[in-house]
Structure 1
Amino acid sequence: MNKNLFALAVLFCTLLVFGACSKDDDEVDEEWKAYNEELARKAAANPEYKSRASLSGNGSVYWKNTDFFEKDETPSLKITETGSPYSSDSVVARYEGWYYLEDGTKVVFDSTEKDNATTGRGFRISGMDASGTFTGVIDGWITMLTNMKVGDAVEVCIPYRLAYGAAGKYDYYTGVQSIPGYTTLWFNIKLLKIIPDNPNEYKE
Structure 2
Amino acid sequence: MKKLPLIFLFIGLVVGFISCSEEDENWNEYKEWRNTNNAWLTEQGKRLNPDGTRYYDTIRPDYDKGQYVLAHWFNDRKLTQGNLKPYYTSTVDVKYIGRLYNDEPFDSSYTLMADYGDSIFRTKVGRVIAGWTILLQEMHVGDSVEVLIPYQSAYGASGSGSIPPYSNLKFGVKLVNVPFWEIEE
Counterpart in 1 of 2:107? 110
Counterpart in 2 of 1:44? 45
Contact 2:159 2:165 in 1 (8 A): yes
Contact 2:26 2:165 in 1 (8 A): no
Contact 1:157 1:187 in 2 (8 A): yes
Q: Which runs of 4+ in 1 moved over 2 A?
A: 23-28, 54-59, 113-119, 195-200
Q: Distance in 1 between matches of 2:151 and 2:27?
A: 17
Contact 2:100 2:168 in 1 (8 A): yes
1:62 paired to 2:62: no
**Cα displacement (A) at 1:58:** 2.8
**Cα displacement (A) at 1:24:** 9.7
Counterpart in 2 of 1:159? 150
Q: Distance in 1 between matches of 2:65 and 2:149?
A: 14
Q: Distance in 2 between matches of 1:124 and 1:188?
A: 18
Q: 1:193 aligns with which of 163, 177, 181?
A: 177
Q: 1:182 aligns with which of 166, 170, 180?
A: 166
Larger relative helix fraction: 2
Query: Once superposed, what is the RMSD of the aligned Cα atoms?
Result: 2.5
**Cα displacement (A) at 1:161:** 0.8
Q: Distance in 1 between matches of 2:152 and 2:87?
A: 22
Counterpart in 2 of 1:131? none
Counterpart in 1 of 2:140? 149
**Cα displacement (A) at 1:121:** 1.4
**Cα displacement (A) at 1:50:** 1.1
**Cα displacement (A) at 1:198:** 5.0
The runs of 5 or more residues in structure 2 that have no matched partner are: 1-23, 48-53
SS at the partner of 2:110? coil
TM-score, structure 2 as length reference:
0.70
Counterpart in 1 of 2:13? none
* Alpha carbons of structure 1 residues 65 and 24: separation in structure 2 relative to 1, 3 Å: same
Larger radius of gyration: 1
Q: Distance in 1 between matches of 2:156 and 2:145?
A: 22
Counterpart in 2 of 1:71? none
**Matched residue type, 1:52:** I
Percent identity between matched residues is 29
Counterpart in 1 of 2:121? 121
Q: Distance in 2 between matches of 1:33 and 1:119?
A: 32
Q: Distance in 1 between matches of 2:88 and 2:174?
A: 17
1:88 paired to 2:79: no
The runs of 5 or more residues in structure 1 that have no matched partner are: 1-22, 68-78, 127-135, 170-176
Contact 1:155 1:187 in 2 (8 A): yes
Contact 1:85 1:196 in 2 (8 A): no
C-alpha deviations, 1:68-121, integer Å up to 9, x for none?
xxxxxxxxxxx8x83310010100000000103xxx4x2211112246584511
TM-score, structure 1 as length reference:
0.64
* Alpha carbons of structure 1 residues 26 and 125: separation in structure 2 relative to 1, 3 Å: closer
